[in-house]
Structure 1
Amino acid sequence: MQRPLCCLLLCLLFYAASVSAQKPELPYTTINFQNLNDFKPTGSNWKLAGDVFYDLNKSGGGSVKSGTGILVNDLSGKSKDHLFTKMEHGDIELELDFMMEKGSNSGIYLQGRYEIQLFDSWGVKVPTPVDCGSIYERWDESRPEGRKGYEGHPPAQNVSKAPGLWQHYKIVFRAPRFNEKGEKIANARFIKVIQNGVTIHENIEVTGPTRSAAFQDEKPMGPLMIQGDHGPVAIRTIKYKAYAIEPVALTKLQLSAYDGKFKSVDELASLTPKREMPIDVLAHLAPGSKDNFAGKITGTIHIPRSGEYLLNLNLRWIPAEVNPNVRNGAGELKIAGKKLLTINTEDGGTASTKVNLEAGDYPLELSYYKNFGLWYARSNDILLSVEGPGFQYTTLNQIIRAEDPVSEISLLARSEPVMQRGFVNHHGLKHTHTISVGEPGDANYTVDLAKGEFLQIWRGDFLETTPMWHGRGETQLSVPLGSVIELSGKPSLAWLADKNAAWPDSNATYSNLGYDIDKSGRPVFKYTLGTASVRESFASTDEGRKLSHTFTVAPGTTVAGQGIWCRIASGSDITELPNGMYAINDKQYFIELPGKEKPVIRTTAANTKELLMSINATNNTGTVTYSIVW
């Protein structure tokens, strides 16, 4: 039945969106780590801590600080219990941070039955079903020797970090389905598993519980389980969205189509449509010109549960980067006669809102127009996406089109370093004079040659270059294929009066002199910084586990009262560890310094931390070398 407008409780919150903006979403439910009340009673091996240290170089050398916020599996006593949540779930979107001790092994079990492996797989070249990120194998003792384990799925690539660093999982899981008699009619499925920002599994079916599951049967619901009997592991920030089966649905869609040029969707109210037709997907499907049209789509939207919903509307013919003085389209969305979303050209074709809706069926009206098309925004499709209580973010009634087939154009570094010039996105901004270097050990990086800035590092495969080389190469971007850590992008070297002088955002005296290629095929970057001449180089070491960064500086004529300093790292925090390394930005990566030189750790005006080293010249040459470990 149709609900009257008064039943809608509308609380609107609009978002500005762009091509680089993060998709808005509804909040997660967070498991409390201030105590263990969200978990079932368990053994003494599970403890709360304020901080944890696992030594990169040896197992058994960890330590914890008192406090809360982190769960630690401490196997120093006799207890080796698993940890179960009181929360039980079916379909779920789960996120968590974890940290491995060197050589350690654990696992996170969805519904207590289906395991995603937690393992120290740092530096593994060819991952197997026992490595971190794998969907662990099933086990059958009745099978022949050597084949007892089966259906294990290794990650698509190994993007695991070093022991002692925080890592991240995002898991989208679909529970098995059962009929009214309780008989299973569909297997459990991992829709997507993302490790450290990289998709390592998609649409993997699991026919039954994996090895060492807490339960050997299958049910619609079950708790999360963290394995506690294998090895030390630290867990923090478990959050989730639990989903029901009943979806939001669009039905009884009808398109009224109009021809001509328009300035506003309000003009449609006084016009007679040129044609009317039933449709089942959201797109302007009326025959005629690809441009100079308008449409009004009406239908019914089914809201399965009362609560807060996120609506996201995208008119795909309005590109994200537009000239606001040239208006090529607009649109608006109404539910139960209430205008919820409005898109104008300057919005970049996308608008979002959060709104409280009561369960029920409501009339929906979507009006829009398009005056002309752009070669890089060809589609006339409309994307309406919804997320709500118990309902995963989903695009409704999306048309499926056969695009021009093109395989991913990727550039890999297998046996020697590989270099690629191109455009790179860094903190949402396009850098146009960059060079990315892929190392055979999967430790890759990007440098901005125009500004002398060290932009990013990543572990895993090198580059996808499809946006550069397919068709017109519309965005011209090269996209890292591995797990990316974006650095600050400020200069690495600067003239400073002393260790307290503020670090510059850019160097006006920087002058790029190109680069040489050394015997190993790696670039050596050359530039001047005022009177100083600099040679900067990188090298993958320890079989790709580390990236060595070296500056050789000839200061030239020294500026009175100033010296050349190297900013090695910056972040929200920098901590010297018991093993002599430095943890950067909440244990995002490590810095390793050779010798006994002590860097300067200082606090900036923005309350961030910087790690600096003075470059002292001997015989008119000074050198700084450090390694990034992640």
Structure 2
Amino acid sequence: MKIKNVIAASTAGLVLLAGLAALAQSKPEETEVWAPTPAKVTPAQTAGGAPSDAVVLFDGHDLDQWVASQDKSPAGWTVADGVITVNKARGNIETKRAFRDYQLHLEWRVPADITGTGQARGNSGVFLASTGPRDQGYEVQILDSYENATYVNGQAGSVYKQHPPLVNASRAPGQWQTYDIVWRAPLFAADGALAKPATVTVIHNGVLVQDNAVLAGETVYIGKPSYNAHGATPIKLQAHGDPSEPISFRNIWVRELAPRP
């Protein structure tokens, strides 16, 4: 019994000494960081608006920031009433500018009178790094997934054929939906070998659906994904070849991010 009391007293003494030592060794000011100060960014005053440091990719008026993916000719999608509507006959479009790491905001809408089922129901996608003129790159799926069954790694909010969304946050057709995406591009060594894989975080309609998901490579429809070395690339929007009615986009902007450590 005496031994237990001695051990308890010793333990209490050690805890007290540790607390006193911590108090003696630091003041609040010693753990305060004052520089460098973060850059000032003015947030948008309206929902979906761009912050002051963003590159506006679509402001509701024209497609000056975009070209056709196939031949880099002027983007041929329809612009009316502040909205882009996919023209499937003209194919995918991509940004004129190339990007690496970034924060992307875009809004999309499936037609209220959409028909079809599964993947043939408002199918499109945003390719976070477009590595070729067709459907090469890394795709976050766009689809009507409100009440439309399909394979889960192909529904809205998925990293196509890699990561299903954590939850289904889809709104009904005819309503605007938002994607807020943080993309960290893959890093490659001088010999082209993968040094660090790509990661993506996706917030769909304010709900986290991809949480720093690690990508196994570029999107492929058949087979396993793999990496091919590349640098900065455009962002691409898909004109999917299914027969369903085309979807629309608005309020697209991007904030370039400093490379990760």
Range class of TM-score, shorter chain: 0.5 to 0.7
Map of 1:333-372 to 2, 5 A cutoff?
Answer: none
Is 2:66–2:74's contact at 8 Å kept on the other side of the alignment?
no
Q: Which runs of 5+ in 2 are unaligned?
A: 1-35, 44-50, 115-120, 131-136
Map of 1:378-397 to 2, 5 A cutoff?
Answer: none
Q: CA deviation at 1:204?
A: 1.1
Q: Which residue of 2 aligns with 1:188?
A: 198
1:176 paired with 2:186, answer yes
Q: Which residue of 2 aligns with 1:133?
A: 157
Map of 1:527-566 to 2, 5 A cutoff?
Answer: none
Q: CA deviation at 1:127?
A: 6.7
Quote the Cα distance in structure 2 between the aligned partners of 1:135 and 1:229.
16
Is 1:208–1:218's contact at 8 Å kept on the other side of the alignment?
no
Q: Which residue of 2 aligns with 1:121?
A: 145
- Determine helix, strand or coil for the equivalent of 1:121: coil
Q: Which residue of 2 aligns with 1:243?
A: 257
Quote the Cα distance in structure 1 between the aligned partners of 2:39 and 2:108.
36
Q: Which residue of 1 aligns with 2:107?
A: 97
1:70 paired with 2:83, answer yes
Q: Which residue of 2 aligns with 1:206?
A: 215
Quote the Cα distance in structure 2 between the aligned partners of 1:30 and 1:14.
14
Sort the Cα spacing of 1:44 and 1:186 in 2 relative to 1 into closer, same or farther, 3 A.
closer
Quote the Cα distance in structure 2 between the aligned partners of 1:80 and 1:86.
16
Structure scoring higher RCO (CA < 8 A, sep ≥ 6) equals: 2
Quote the Cα distance in structure 1 between the aligned partners of 2:86 and 2:109.
11
Amino acid corresponding to residue 96 of structure 2 in structure 1: K
Amino acid corresponding to residue 236 of structure 1 in structure 2: R
Amino acid corresponding to residue 38 of structure 1 in structure 2: Q
Is 2:67–2:74's contact at 8 Å kept on the other side of the alignment?
no
Regions of 4+ moved over 6 Å:
10-15
Is 1:90–1:174's contact at 8 Å kept on the other side of the alignment?
yes
Q: Which residue of 2 aligns with 1:165?
A: 175
Q: Which runs of 5+ in 1 are unaligned?
A: 1-7, 16-24, 51-68, 138-151, 248-630
Q: CA deviation at 1:80?
A: 4.2
Is 1:127–1:157's contact at 8 Å kept on the other side of the alignment?
no
TM-score normalised by structure 2 residue count = 0.65
Question: Which is greater in Rg?
Answer: 1
1:32 paired with 2:32, answer no
Q: CA deviation at 1:161?
A: 0.8
Sort the Cα spacing of 1:71 and 1:212 in 2 relative to 1 into closer, same or farther, 3 A.
farther
Q: Which among 224, 228, 236 is matched to residue 235 of structure 2?
A: 224
TM-score normalised by structure 1 residue count = 0.28
Amino acid corresponding to residue 57 of structure 2 in structure 1: I
Is 1:43–1:80's contact at 8 Å kept on the other side of the alignment?
no
Q: CA deviation at 1:237?
A: 0.8
Is 2:125–2:141's contact at 8 Å kept on the other side of the alignment?
yes
Which one has a larger percent helix, Structure 1 or Structure 2?
2
Residue-by-residue CA offset, 1:320-376 (whole Å, 9 max, x unaligned): xxxxxxxxxxxxxxxxxxxxxxxxxxxxxxxxxxxxxxxxxxxxxxxxxxxxxxxxx
Residue-by-residue CA offset, 1:58-91 (whole Å, 9 max, x unaligned): xxxxxxxxxxx2110134xxx2410111121111
**In the comparison of the two structures, how many residue pairs are matched?**
193
**What's the C-alpha RMSD, in Å, of the aligned pairs?**
3.2
Q: CA deviation at 1:123?
A: 2.5
Quote the Cα distance in structure 2 between the aligned partners of 1:97 and 1:72.
12
Is 1:124–1:158's contact at 8 Å kept on the other side of the alignment?
no
1:49 paired with 2:102, answer no
Q: CA deviation at 1:136?
A: 0.2
- Determine helix, strand or coil for the equivalent of 1:35: coil
1:110 paired with 2:128, answer yes
Amino acid corresponding to residue 193 of structure 1 in structure 2: V
Which one has a larger percent strand, Structure 1 or Structure 2?
1
Quote the Cα distance in structure 2 between the aligned partners of 1:83 and 1:175.
20
